[in-house]
Amino acid sequence: MSVLARLTPQGVNSLTGIGRATAHQFAENGARAIYLCDFDDSNLEAHKREMSSLWPQVEIHTRKFDAADDEAVKAVVDDAVQQYGRLDVFFANGAIGGPFAHFSGISSAEFMNVLRVNCLRLASYLLSVLLPTCLTNAVL
């Protein structure tokens, strides 16, 4: 049995795309619990209801927060470890595309924001939240 935390950053709809398909695959293949987390909570409860009706044996949790908030991410990881004794999968999907413009028309601040959201967040999750949790709970 797996425990999955799935995060999507600001601007990504939690009810569509890769994140939705991944959550469904884990539920279908025996996950014990899934955390659906999103900045935009407009679809979280609908997605929870849908998944609960399809896979009633899976415990579905929803959280609304900005995935760039390390403390909020840590709270989800800590909750999973506290409730289930472990976190088997951490799936942080989604990204921003940045401004729709020719590369020469993109400012360095806009470019760096895309890198911050799409690359730095993953490194931050791994180093500040997941690695300490895995080491503390011997889940590597």
Residue 9 has what pLDDT?
Answer: 44
Residue 21 has what pLDDT?
Answer: 87
Burial 89-127 (b: 16+ CB within 10 A, else e): ebbbbbbeebeeeeeeeeeeeeeeeeeebeeebeeebee
The SS3 assignment for 8 reads strand
Beta bridge partners of 34: 4, 60
Every domain of the chain and the residues it spans: 2-137
Superfamily of domain 2-137: NAD(P)-binding Rossmann-like Domain (3.40.50.720)
pLDDT by 10s per residue, the chain, length 140: 455 555 544 434 456 678 888 889 989 998 899 988 887 788 889 999 999 999 999 999 999 877 767 788 788 888 988 898 888 888 877 677 788 888 889 999 998 888 877 777 767 666 666 677 666 655 44
Angle between helices 44-54 and 17-28 (to 10 degrees): 30
